[in-house]
């Protein structure tokens, strides 16, 4: 696309996340990279560019609205890459990604909206394949640690001759940051949609909701058995028998786990056909651990139970108006650990690991993801578990 006017256009550059992304481009992109800022107001775009210093002095400015389909087509035709921070994406992102697909322009966003990603798989992916556009969702805190973390862990397992992944857990140990009004608004719109649309509720409840090859997916089996041989469903607090630490649900797990399974499918299940992936929060081993873990489980369980209920629609109607953007510099960040069980190679015997036999695999993260967590890779034999019945195929699913 050397004939395009710009290399990168950042759409939504005047919003909270947009200004952070623009500031990063000003320091990371060299003078040879042709950048433009796009949004609804030229005045505000000029103000953002003016705060970025000499590096952004020659950046282009493009005034266009998220609902202007013709204007977005023209914008997409002028750039090689179109990155957008404008959400909720189900409301403001459809014409943007459609324009990118039609013009053969690579696209990236920060969405954590399951229904929006499912829509792009159904409605946009086919055209993107024809034009050569690459559609890449969730390029921020949702879901870089999860998506690249599992990829690096799978790569390390293969390099060590340990086969592919089975039980794989992302353990979130620390996290710092805030939640913006746009994030809350995205959640609110998804809840309202699920309330009115039974098909949307089925998407949200399907562990393979984002798979374009739903009929070919392996049966999702339960993770390692819990007490008395019961499957670990993590609906309440649980104590890790290996570490003695209390675990509870992770707020972003519903979306992140499905995105990881999508990446596994798109790479022909390179992580493993028996991948069983989950995400949890580590609340420590102290006396407050079970209290906080149970509180998180109850809160998230209540949110899931409210899907489709009128109370959820009412209680979230005014949330975005009450939530302020996080302070500058407080973008989410934190530490996490990986614990994975991969099957041994055929004919090779590996003794079950003891707590001291854990190998810490220091996988060097890509330069674009400086906070990608280190990986703790544990290999060994696991107790066999019964496979759960396969989820019923949904009417929106497609197969290739």
User: Which is more confident, 361 or 150?
Assistant: 150
Q: Which range is most confident: 114-118, 171-175, 391-395? A: 114-118
Give, in degrees to the nearest 5, the angle at Cα 146 between 141 and 95. Answer: 55
On whether the CB atoms of residues 278 and 257 are closer than 8 A, the answer is yes
Q: Which range is most confident: 227-236, 278-287, 320-329? A: 278-287
Q: Is the pLDDT of residue 257 over 70?
A: yes
What is the chain's length? 400
pLDDT tens per residue, range 148-183: 999 999 999 999 999 999 999 999 988 776 666 666
**In a shared domain, residues 240 and 257:** yes
Q: In which band, very low, low, confident or very high, does the pLDDT at 317 lie, cut at 50, 70 and 90?
A: very low
Mean pLDDT, all residues of the chain: 76
Q: In which band, very low, low, confident or very high, does the pLDDT at 304 lie, cut at 50, 70 and 90?
A: low
Inside any domain, residue 382: no
Q: Which range is most confident: 240-249, 290-299, 317-326? A: 240-249
For the segment 383-387, the average pLDDT, to the nearest whole number, is 31
Q: Is the pLDDT of residue 116 over 80?
A: yes
On whether the CB atoms of residues 124 and 135 are closer than 8 A, the answer is yes
Q: What is the 3-state secondary structure (H, E, C) of the chain?
A: CCCCCEEEEEECCCCHHHHHHHHHHHHHCCCCCCEEEEECCHHHHHHHHHCCCHHHCCCEEEECCCCCHHHHHHHHHCEEEEEECCCCHHHHCHHHHHHHHHHCCEEECCCCCHHHHHHHHHHCHHHHHHHCCCEECCCECCEHHHHHHHHHHHHHHHHCCCCCCCEEEEEEEEEECCCCHHHHHHHHHHHHHHHHCHHHHHHHHCCCCCCCCHHHCCCCCCCCECHHHCECCCCCCEECCCCCCEEEECCCHHHHHHHHHHHHHHCCCCCCCCCEEEEEEECCCCCCHHHHHHHHHHHHHHHHHCCCCHHHHHHCCCHHHHCCCCCCCCCCEEEEEEEECCCCCCCCCCCCCCHHHCEEECCCCCCCCCCCCCEEECCCCCCCCCCCCCCCCCCCCCCC
Question: What's the predicted TM-score (pTM) here?
Answer: 0.74
Inside any domain, residue 373: yes
Inside any domain, residue 399: no
Q: Which of 29-43, 68-82, 283-297 has the lowest mean pLDDT?
A: 283-297
**In a shared domain, residues 107 and 169:** no
**Pick from 136, 155, 190: which residue ends a domain?**
136
Inside any domain, residue 335: yes
Q: Is the pLDDT of residue 355 over 80?
A: no
User: Which is more confident, 386 or 199?
Assistant: 199
Inside any domain, residue 389: no
Which residues fall within 8 angstroms of residue 234, CB to CB, at 6 or more apart?
247, 248, 249, 278, 280, 297
Number of separate domains in the chain = 2
pLDDT tens per residue, range 178-234: 666 666 666 677 777 777 778 888 888 899 999 999 999 987 665 555 555 544 544
**In a shared domain, residues 219 and 307:** yes
State the CB neighbour count (10 A cutoff) for residue 329: 7
**In a shared domain, residues 260 and 329:** yes
Q: Which of 107-111, 113-117, 146-150, 287-291 has the lowest mean pLDDT?
A: 287-291
What is the edge-to-edge ordering of all strands in the sheet holding 6-11? 60-63, 35-39, 6-11, 79-84, 106-108, 135-136
pLDDT of res. 1: 58
First to last CA, the chain: 29
What are the angstrom distances between the C-alpha of 341 and each of 161, 281, 330, 353? Answer: 13, 19, 34, 10
For the segment 11-37, the average pLDDT, to the nearest whole number, is 95
**Pick from 120, 136, 152: which residue ends a domain?**
136
Beta bridge partners of 280: 171, 249
**In a shared domain, residues 150 and 280:** yes
Q: Is the pLDDT of residue 392 over 80?
A: no
| Cα gap 37→48, rounded to integer Å | 9
**In a shared domain, residues 115 and 220:** no
Percent of the chain's residues with pLDDT above 90: 51
For residue 11, the enclosing domain spans: 6-136
pLDDT of res. 197: 77
The CATH number linked to 108 is 3.40.50.720
Q: Is the pLDDT of residue 303 over 80?
A: no
Sign for the pseudo-dihedral over CA of 398, 186, 248, 279: positive
Inside any domain, residue 26: yes
pLDDT of res. 241: 87
**In a shared domain, residues 98 and 177:** no
pLDDT of res. 376: 34
Q: Is the pLDDT of residue 253 over 70?
A: yes
Q: Is the pLDDT of residue 293 over 60?
A: yes
**In a shared domain, residues 333 and 270:** yes
The pairing of beta strand 238-239 with beta strand 246-249: antiparallel
**In a shared domain, residues 43 and 164:** no
**In a shared domain, residues 174 and 131:** no
On whether the CB atoms of residues 10 and 62 are closer than 8 A, the answer is no
Q: Which residues of 153-168 are buried (b: 16+ CB within 10 A; e: fewer)?
A: bbebbbeeebbbbbbb
**In a shared domain, residues 76 and 208:** no
**In a shared domain, residues 34 and 105:** yes
pLDDT of res. 186: 67
| Cα gap 202→224, rounded to integer Å | 26
């Amino acid at each position: 696309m050397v004939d395009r006017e710009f290399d990168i256009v950042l759409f939504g550059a005047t919003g909270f996340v947009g200004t952070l992304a623009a500031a990063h481009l000003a320091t990371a992109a060299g003078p040879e990279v042709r950048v433009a800022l796009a949004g609804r107001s030229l005045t505000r775009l000029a103000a953002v560019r003016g705060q970025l210093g000499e590096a952004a002095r020659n950046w282009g400015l493009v005034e266009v609205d998220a609902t202007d389909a013709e204007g977005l087509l023209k914008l997409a035709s002028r750039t090689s890459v179109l990155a957008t921070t404008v959400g909720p994406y189900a409301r403001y992102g459809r014409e943007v990604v459609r324009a990118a697909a039609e013009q053969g322009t690579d696209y990236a966003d920060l969405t954590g909206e399951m229904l929006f990603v499912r829509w792009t798989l159904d409605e946009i992916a086919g055209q993107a394949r024809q034009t050569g556009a690459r559609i890449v969702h969730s390029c921020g805190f949702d879901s870089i640690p999860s998506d690249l973390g599992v990829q690096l862990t799978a790569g390390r397992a293969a390099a060590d001759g340990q086969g592919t992944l089975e039980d794989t857990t992302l353990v979130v140990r620390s996290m710092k940051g805030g939640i913006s009004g746009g994030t809350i608004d995205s959640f609110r719109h998804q809840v309202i949609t699920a309330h009115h649309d039974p098909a949307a509720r089925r998407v949200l409840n399907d562990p393979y909701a984002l798979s374009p090859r739903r009929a070919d997916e392996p049966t999702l089996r339960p993770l390692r058995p819990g007490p008395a041989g019961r499957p670990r469903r993590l609906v309440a607090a649980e104590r890790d028998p290996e570490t003695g630490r209390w675990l509870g649900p992770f707020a972003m797990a519903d979306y992140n786990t499905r995105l990881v399974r999508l990446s596994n499918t798109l790479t022909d299940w390179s992580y493993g056909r028996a991948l069983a992936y989950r995400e949890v929060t580590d609340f420590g081993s102290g006396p407050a651990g079970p209290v906080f873990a149970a509180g998180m489980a109850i809160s998230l369980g209540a949110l899931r139970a409210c899907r489709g209920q009128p109370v959820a629609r009412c209680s979230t109607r005014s949330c975005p108006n009450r939530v302020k953007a996080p302070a500058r510099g407080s973008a989410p960040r934190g530490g996490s650990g990986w614990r994975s069980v991969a099957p041994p190679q055929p004919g090779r015997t590996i003794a079950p690991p003891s707590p001291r036999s854990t190998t810490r695999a220091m996988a060097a993260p890509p330069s674009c993801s400086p906070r990608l967590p280190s990986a703790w890779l544990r290999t060994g034999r696991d107790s066999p578990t019964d496979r759960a019945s396969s989820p019923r195929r949904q009417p929106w699913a497609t197969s290739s």
